[in-house]
Amino acid sequence: MKAKTRLRVRSDLMDDAALAILVAVLLLIGSGLALNDDFEISLAGAGTWPSLPNRQGVLLVLAGSLPLVFRRTAPLVVLALTVAASLAYQALGHSPQPLPLGALVALYTVAVLRRPRISLLAATLYVLTFTVSTLSGWSSLTDDQYYIDLVSVVATVTVGYGVALGRTRTALAEQTAAELAREQADRTRAAVAQEQARIAREVHDIVAHDLSVMVAQAGAARRVVTSRPQTAVTALASIEGVGRDALDGLRRLVTLLRTDRGGADRSPPPSIDRLPWALAQVQRAGVPVELRIRGRPRELSATVELNAYRIVQEALTNVLKHAGPARASVVLEYGEDHLRVEVSDDGRRSAARPSAGYGLVSMQQRAAMLGGEVFAGPTSHGFVVSARLPLTQADRRSDTMLVPRNELEPARLPIGHAVP
C-alpha cells in the first residue's frame, strides 16, 4: 500500500511539473500579446513576432508557473505565489497576458482540494487584489481585460467546485457500495453459521439418540449373553435396526447438503406419529417409558411436529445417559394455541443440574425457533424437561382434523395410555 502511494505521488509530481512547464511557455508567448478594448488580440511589440519580456519579466513568469509543481501538496501557498508573481509582473510595467494562467490553475486546484468556503474566499481575495491594483494604477488592465479576468475566475471556481462535487459523490458511492458489500458478507456469514448450527443440531439429535440406545442395548446384551442368549440375540437385532435408522437419518442430511438433487431422498421428516416407535427403542434399551396424551390430538405443521419429536428424542437420550435405572414418562398436551411436551423420569443424576453437553442447547434452540421456551431441571422425584411450542394460525384453525381420543389407532400408542 505504501509503495502504491509513493508511486501515485511521484506520478502526480511529474504531471504537475509538465503542467508548470506548459503554463510557463504559454505565459512567455502570451507576454507578447495584448488585448484591445474591442476584444481583439494584437501584438504588443512593433515587430512581426511577439516580443519576449526582459530578464526580470522572465523570472516573474517562471515564479508564477513553476510553483504549480506543488499545487496538490500546498494549494493555498501556490495560489499566493502565482497571484503575487502575476501582479508584480504587471506592476513593473510589463503588458499583462490575455489570461493569468498560473493563478487560474492554482485557483482551480484550491477549488478542487479545499472546502467551498475556502475556495470562495480565495477567489474573492484574488478579485479584490487585482481590482485594487487596477484602480490604483499598479497594473495596466483594460476594461476588457478586467472583465475577462473576472469571468475567468468565476468559471474556474465553478468548474473546480463541480469536479470536487463529482469526486465526493463518487467517493460516497464507493463507500456505500463497500458498506453494502460488508453487510452482505456479514449476512452471508450469519446465514452460513445458522445453517451450520442447524446441521449440527440435526446430526446431534439423530446420532446421539441412536448411539445411546445402541450402547445401552449392547451393554445389556453383554451382561446376558451367557445366561440368556436369546435375549442377547434380540438386543443385537434391535441394535442392527437402530443402526440402520441412524444411517438413514444421516443419509437424509447428506442428501440435503448435496448440490445435485437428482436422486434426492424424499422420505418425510420425523413427526409425532413416530414417537411410539422411538419410545419402543428406549424401552428395549432398558428404560420403561409411558406415553400420555392430553387434549384433542390433531395434525400439526411439519415444523412443529419435527421439533416436538426431536425434543422428546433428546430428552430420552439424556435419560439413557444420565438417569441410570429409571422410568420415564412422556406427555403431549394439545392446547388451543400451543403444544406442551414434557419428559420426566425418576432417576438420580450425579449432579443437580443438567449435563453441559449440546442436548439442552439443541432443545432450547428448537423451541426458540418456534417462539417457545424450554424448562429443564431436577424435581423432587427425578428430572423433567418441559417445552411449550406455540402453534401457527393454520394449526389453530385445523378443527376439521381433530381426532377424538377414543378413535386413535392402536399403532399410535403402543406404550402407556392416554390420560383423560
- For the record, the C-alpha cell of 234 comes out as 434380540
Section 309-331 average pLDDT: 86
Q: Which ranges constitute the DSSP H helices of 55-142? A: 55-63, 75-91, 101-113, 116-135
Of 401 and 341, the structure prediction assigns the larger pLDDT to 341
Sheet holding 338-345, edge to edge: 289-294, 328-334, 338-345, 382-390, 373-379
Name the burial class of residue 78, with classes exposed (0-12), middle (13-18) and buried (19+) by CB atoms within 10 angstroms of its CB. Answer: buried
Average pLDDT over residues 274-298: 87
Q: What percent of the chain has pLDDT over 90?
A: 18
Residue range 245-267: average pLDDT? Answer: 62
pLDDT confidence of residue 352: 44
204-250 pLDDT per residue, tens: 766 677 777 777 778 877 888 788 888 878 878 777 777 777 777 77
Q: How far is CA 207 from CA 27, 41, 197, 310, in A?
A: 86, 95, 15, 12
Task: Give 136's DSSP letter.
Answer: T
Size of the chain in residues? 420
Higher pLDDT among residues 17 and 108, named by residue: 108
pLDDT digits (tens, 9 = 90+) for 351-377: 544 454 567 888 888 888 888 999 988
Least confident of 95-99, 113-117, 275-279: 95-99
**Which of 111-120, 151-160, 262-271, 309-318 is the least confident region?**
262-271
Class of domain 274-412: alpha beta
Residue 93 contacts residue 63 (beta carbons within 8 Å): no
What pLDDT digit, counting tens, does each position of 339-355 carry? 999 999 988 765 544 45
pLDDT of residue 293: 92
Residue 411 has pLDDT above 50, yes or no: no
Report the pLDDT value the prediction gives residue 332, as an integer from 0 to 100. 94
- Asked whether residue 152 carries a pLDDT value surpassing 70, the answer given is yes
By mean pLDDT, which of 164-173, 249-258, 341-350 is the weakest?
Answer: 249-258
Residue 121 confidence class, pLDDT cut points 50, 70, 90: very high
* Mean pLDDT to the nearest integer, 12-24: 81
Amino acid at 399: D
Q: Where are the domains of the chain?
A: 2-141, 274-412
Q: Average pLDDT in the 376-395 region?
A: 86
Averaged pLDDT of the chain: 77
CB 361 within 8 Å of CB 301: no
* 251 vs 179: which has the higher pLDDT: 179
Task: Report pLDDT for 255.
Answer: 67
pLDDT, position 408: 35
